[in-house]
């Protein structure tokens, strides 16, 4: 390539900077969107993984019903694959903040190796009466303040602490709480508000409530390899934990037994003593009796003696006997059993202990993060393709136009003897350099901005430190290849066509595109009623087919993106409201510890009647179909008043009959996933691998979790016994605070868990706030897309018609009229595009929603009508804005252009 040709190319770029930048911008948007969104989930996962590894997040939490001896930790540390084991104490307590507010706090003991913390501000405690605090809930202003254990805590709980107040010295983030939820509690209004950590010495306890274990290996988050790894060792740890708990229980029970034995022995001694005393008492009575008789006799004889009568010796013997009688002995006190003995009597032996191994999959943050980050990936799979398609189209039109404009120049270059390669190079360089800059810029900006913005959005729910950026070579290479194909590949094709023509041909002007009648003109009724200038617009619209399609595609893409953006929000917001407004109409679900016969005494005591709650059995089973199986919940129902608590209806809102014997109702998500329809046969398989064959009698609307509903007869018929009824749906009375109700229910020993629907709804609504930011990003991108497409097309439109525009200006069209003349067709195209975008948006949205697979929640594929209207209006407004901003360009069209020859 000659120096002058290069110079000409560089000047070309400078002179047509608008066009150059348009190519750059569209490639940057395409690449930025693709790489940015694609990188977001890996970045988010890397961030959490990094955080977990840095803080040594536990793989197992061992808990037992009796706690663990402090020595037990060493035993656990000896188990295979154990990297570190840490005993810790976790208690719920009511605390009072300096500002006077009372909240429920989860109080942990500080651990060093497992579940370490990240210090956000301040320092770690140096004295046992210092604490570090939840940095997600509290701001740094809390440093130096005092947290007081509330007096209304139970005495038993307060005794477990050495101090009754703690000074805040640091703010921390714990891997146990990466998400905003802090868990449930029987205290207060039922929800833990925050957590704090204090030194172990601050607890007046000689045992741990749990042992946290970190295994040797680290894996990718949510990887199957990790699941297999932790599954492999779970049994080992469980049995070890159980053994330790058993030993502890046995030791306690032995101690109790000894104490009881001692009391028993003491009691026997006391009984013996009592018997002896009784004996002695009898003897004493005898003695007293004899003494009385003798004294009586002596009393009778005494006067004779006094008078000096001699008495016979046998009578004198009375006196002797009296004198010889022993003194009445003092009886000893019977010792009473000490008070403590009663307590010992009341001591109950510890029940057989239970021990559990709770993996990461029981940590709310860990579990929710998988599904929440999955949403991003679902979006990332669809949107970028769209952007690339439009980018390619913009490049096609722009480069085609450019090559066409420069026919003559190409001809001259050919005539001067430049080879095809050199000429081609000029245009490839033009498009390629624009694309390269756009690609690099878009990649950098996209992979920085999108993850950052989305992570910021997730920051409202997650707290795990700053985002970790990962660089993916694969993604970078794909971006570059696609960008280059879109720009240079297309330029190459456009140039080929021109280069095959002979130089002489090229130097002759190409005939302007001929005017043509359009179909509308054959409908005189319509055509004759259209204003004259509008006729021009209509003809123009249909005159340039490629421009028409590109414009419609670009604009419809913009509308579709907006609809999808709004729709994602609608669908997710819709889930919570639809689920709790029309499906799960009960207030809270309660799981009891023991089987409930008919009435649940606790609820009766609280003033609820049998009409306010519904008792059933819920079991985890596998749904086995021809296309695979899936673990879900099976609700076994006995009564048909079920519909007052839970509405069984189809997606079309038609009621479904209560399942009869051998029938089952499955929720829509399962039906969709396994392509099930009414009348299909499926099998429900229990944990014990027993099978219940059922026929599907209905497919119901249900968005949260996956359920199958069967009648109890079905269960009894195949398995021979009824399932344990441990689940209750409760409807609180009108005007009651469901949270307070749930807190007081949770306080009962008979209740295992309570989940309040209102809380789930709020949780989803919190998620919506962060979804808003994603929606804003989508809107911004759609606007950028619309702008680039419209700008580019308008630009082409103006340069192609520059003589026409100059002419009408000479004819005396005012600026407003000139704008209307040129832009009317743009607006008409924008409106057509927006209309086409409506169904396209619906499809795109459905496609994205199908890609967003979150295990536990089924999203309603649903776009509100208002969202369609907004998307449509936004598009038209974008188009109008672009046209408005292009007005200046029209103004600058020089009228002397009209005098120039056609070139």
User: What residues line the site for other proteins (CB under 8 A)?
Assistant: 511-516, 532-533, 535-536, 539-540, 543, 803-804, 806-815, 817, 895-896, 898-902
- 517 vs 582 by CB, closer to other proteins: 517
- 377 vs 804 by CB, closer to other proteins: 804
Instruction: Tell the smallest beta-carbon distance from residue 888 to other proteins (Å).
Output: 14
- 385 vs 811 by CB, closer to other proteins: 811
Instruction: Tell the smallest beta-carbon distance from residue 530 to other proteins (Å).
Output: 12
Distance of alpha carbon 571 from the chain centroid? 16
Instruction: Tell the smallest beta-carbon distance from residue 516 to other proteins (Å).
Output: 7
- 309 vs 519 by CB, closer to other proteins: 519
Instruction: Tell the smallest beta-carbon distance from residue 899 to other proteins (Å).
Output: 6
- 742 vs 826 by CB, closer to other proteins: 826
- C-alpha 37/C-alpha 454 separation (Å) is 9
67: left (phi over 0), alpha (psi -120 to 50) or beta: left
Name, in order, each residue with C-beta under 8 angstroms of 79's C-beta and a sequence gap of 6 or more: 85, 233, 236, 237, 240
Nearest to 464 by CA among 195, 118, 772, 140: 118
* Strand 588-592 with 355-359, pairing: unpaired
Q: Residue 529 phi/psi, 5° resolution?
A: -95, 0
- 733 vs 900 by CB, closer to other proteins: 900
Pairs from 477-483 (Cβ < 8 Å, separation ≥ 24): 478/34, 479/31, 479/34, 479/35, 479/439, 479/442, 479/443, 480/436, 480/439, 482/30, 482/31, 482/34, 482/388, 483/27, 483/30, 483/31, 483/391, 483/435, 483/436, 483/438, 483/439, 483/442
- 189 vs 539 by CB, closer to other proteins: 539
- 535 vs 763 by CB, closer to other proteins: 535
User: Collapsing DSSP states into helix, strand and coil, what is residue 466?
Assistant: coil
- 810 vs 877 by CB, closer to other proteins: 810
- What residues are paired with 313 via a beta bridge? none
User: Collapsing DSSP states into helix, strand and coil, what is residue 469?
Assistant: coil
Instruction: Tell the smallest beta-carbon distance from residue 518 to other proteins (Å).
Output: 9
Instruction: Tell the smallest beta-carbon distance from residue 897 to other proteins (Å).
Output: 10
Instruction: Tell the smallest beta-carbon distance from residue 515 to other proteins (Å).
Output: 3
- What residues are paired with 92 via a beta bridge? 106
- 514 vs 689 by CB, closer to other proteins: 514
- 771 vs 893 by CB, closer to other proteins: 893
Quick one: three-class SS letters along 274-342? HHHHHHHHHHHHHHHHHHHHHHHHHHHHHHHHHHCCCCCHHHHHHHHHHHHCCCCCCCCCCCCCCHHHH
- The dihedral formed by the CA atoms of 179, 864, 708 and 230, expressed in degrees to the nearest 10: -30
- Give the CA count within 13 Å in the CB-facing half-sphere of 858: 20
Instruction: Tell the smallest beta-carbon distance from residue 808 to other proteins (Å).
Output: 7
Instruction: Tell the smallest beta-carbon distance from residue 770 to other proteins (Å).
Output: 51
- What residues are paired with 211 via a beta bridge? 62, 87
Instruction: Tell the smallest beta-carbon distance from residue 804 to other proteins (Å).
Output: 6
DSSP states of 92-159 as a string? EEEEE-TTS-EEEEEEEE--SSTT--EEEEE---SSTTEEEEETTTS-GGGTT-EEEE-TTS-HHHHT
- C-alpha 685/C-alpha 590 separation (Å) is 24
Q: Which helix (H) or strand (E) holds 86?
A: strand 82-88
- 478 vs 507 by CB, closer to other proteins: 507
- 375 vs 536 by CB, closer to other proteins: 536
Instruction: Tell the smallest beta-carbon distance from residue 814 to other proteins (Å).
Output: 5
Instruction: Tell the smallest beta-carbon distance from residue 533 to other proteins (Å).
Output: 8
- What residues are paired with 619 via a beta bridge? 634
Q: What angle do CA 393, 394, 399 make, to 5 degrees?
A: 105
Instruction: Tell the smallest beta-carbon distance from residue 222 to other proteins (Å).
Output: 60
């Amino acid at each position: 390539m000659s120096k002058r040709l290069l110079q000409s190319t560089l000047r070309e770029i400078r002179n047509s900077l608008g066009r150059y930048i348009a190519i750059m911008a569209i490639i940057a948007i395409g690449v930025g969107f693709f790489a940015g969104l694609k990188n977001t989930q890996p970045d988010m996962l890397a961030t959490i993984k990094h955080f977990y590894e840095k803080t040594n997040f536990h793989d197992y939490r061992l808990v037992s019903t009796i706690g663990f001896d402090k020595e037990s930790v060493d035993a656990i540390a000896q188990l295979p694959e154990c990297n570190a084991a840490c005993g810790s104490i976790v208690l719920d307590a009511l605390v009072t903040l300096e500002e006077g507010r009372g909240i429920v706090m989860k109080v942990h003991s500080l651990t060093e190796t497992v579940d370490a913390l990240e210090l956000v501000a301040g320092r770690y405690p140096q004295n046992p009466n210092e604490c570090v605090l939840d940095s997600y809930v509290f701001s740094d202003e809390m440093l130096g303040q005092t947290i007081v254990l509330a007096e209304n805590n139970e005495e038993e709980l307060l005794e477990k602490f050495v101090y009754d107040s703690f000074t805040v010295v640091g703010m921390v983030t714990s891997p146990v709480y990466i998400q905003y939820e802090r868990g449930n509690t029987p205290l207060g209004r039922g929800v833990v508000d925050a957590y704090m950590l204090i030194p172990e010495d601050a607890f007046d306890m000689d045992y741990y409530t749990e042992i946290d274990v970190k295994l040797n290996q680290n894996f990718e988050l949510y990887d199957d390899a990790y699941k297999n790894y932790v599954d492999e060792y779970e049994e080992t740890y469980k049995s070890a934990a159980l053994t330790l708990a058993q030993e502890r229980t046995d030791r306690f029970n032995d101690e109790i037994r000894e104490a009881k034995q001692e009391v028993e022995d003491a009691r026997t001694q006391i009984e013996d003593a009592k018997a002896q005393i009784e004996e002695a008492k009898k003897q004493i009575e005898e003695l007293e009796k004899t003494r009385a008789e003798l004294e009586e006799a002596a009393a009778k004889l005494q006067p004779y003696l006094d008078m000096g009568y001699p008495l016979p010796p046998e009578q004198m013997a009375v006196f002797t006997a009296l004198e010889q009688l022993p003194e009445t002995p003092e009886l000893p006190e019977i010792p009473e059993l000490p008070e403590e003995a009663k307590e010992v009597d009341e001591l109950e032996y510890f029940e057989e202990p239970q021990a559990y191994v709770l993996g990461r999959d029981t940590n709310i943050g860990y579990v929710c993060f998988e599904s929440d980050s999955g949403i991003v990936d679902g979006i990332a799979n669809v949107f970028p393709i769209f952007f690339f398609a439009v980018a390619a189209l913009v490049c096609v039109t722009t480069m085609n136009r450019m090559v066409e404009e420069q026919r003559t120049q190409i001809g001259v270059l050919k005539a001067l003897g430049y080879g095809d390669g050199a000429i081609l190079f000029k245009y490839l360089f033009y498009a390629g350099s624009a694309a390269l800059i756009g690609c690099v810029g878009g990649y950098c900006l996209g992979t920085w901005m999108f993850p950052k913005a989305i992570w910021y959005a997730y920051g409202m729910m997650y707290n795990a430190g700053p985002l970790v950026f990962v660089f993916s070579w694969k993604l970078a290479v794909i971006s570059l290849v696609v960008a280059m194909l879109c720009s240079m590949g297309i330029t190459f094709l456009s140039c080929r066509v021109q280069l095959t023509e002979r130089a002489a041909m090229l130097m002759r002007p190409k005939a302007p595109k001929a005017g043509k009648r359009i179909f509308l003109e054959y409908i005189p009724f319509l055509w004759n009623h259209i204003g004259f200038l509008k006729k021009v617009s209509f003809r123009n619209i249909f005159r340039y087919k490629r421009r028409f399609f590109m414009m419609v595609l670009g604009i419809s893409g913009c509308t579709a993106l907006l609809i999808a953006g709004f729709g994602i929000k609608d669908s997710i917001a819709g889930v919570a409201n639809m689920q709790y407004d029309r499906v799960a109409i009960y207030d809270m679900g309660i799981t009891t510890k023991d089987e409930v016969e008919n009435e649940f005494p606790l609820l009766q005591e609280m003033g609820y009647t049998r009409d306010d709650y519904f008792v059933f059995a819920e079991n985890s089973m596998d749904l086995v179909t021809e296309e695979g199986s899936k673990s879900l919940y099976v609700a076994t129902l006995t009564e048909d008043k079920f519909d007052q608590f839970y509405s069984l209806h189809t997606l079309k809102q038609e009621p479904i009959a209560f399942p009869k014997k051998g029938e089952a109702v499955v929720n829509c998500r399962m039906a969709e996933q396994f392509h099930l329809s009414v009348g299909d046969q499926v099998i429900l398989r229990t944990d014990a691998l027993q099978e219940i064959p059922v026929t599907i009698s209905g497919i119901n609307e249900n968005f949260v979790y996956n359920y199958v509903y069967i009648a109890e007869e079905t269960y009894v018929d195949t398995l021979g016994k009824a399932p344990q009824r441990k689940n209750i749906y409760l409807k609180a009375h009108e005007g009651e605070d469901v949270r307070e109700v749930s807190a007081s229910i949770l306080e009962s020993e008979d209740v295992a868990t309570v989940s309040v629907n209102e809380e789930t709804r709020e949780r989803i609504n919190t998620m919506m706030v962060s979804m808003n930011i994603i929606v804003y990003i989508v809107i911004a991108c759609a606007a950028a897309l619309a702008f680039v497409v419209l700008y580019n097309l308008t630009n082409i439109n103006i340069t192609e018609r520059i003589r026409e525009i100059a002419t009408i200006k000479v004819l005396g069209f005012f600026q407003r009229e000139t704008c209307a003349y040129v832009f009317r067709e743009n607006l008409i195209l924008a409106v057509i595009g927006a209309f086409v975008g409506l169904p396209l948006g619906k499809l795109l949205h459905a496609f994205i929603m199908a890609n967003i697979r979150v295990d536990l929640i089924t999203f309603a594929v649903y776009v509100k009508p208002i969202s369609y209207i907004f998307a449509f209006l936004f598009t038209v407004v974008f188009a109008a804005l672009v046209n408005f901003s292009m007005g200046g360009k029209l103004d600058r069209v020089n009228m002397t252009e009209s005098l120039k020859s056609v070139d």
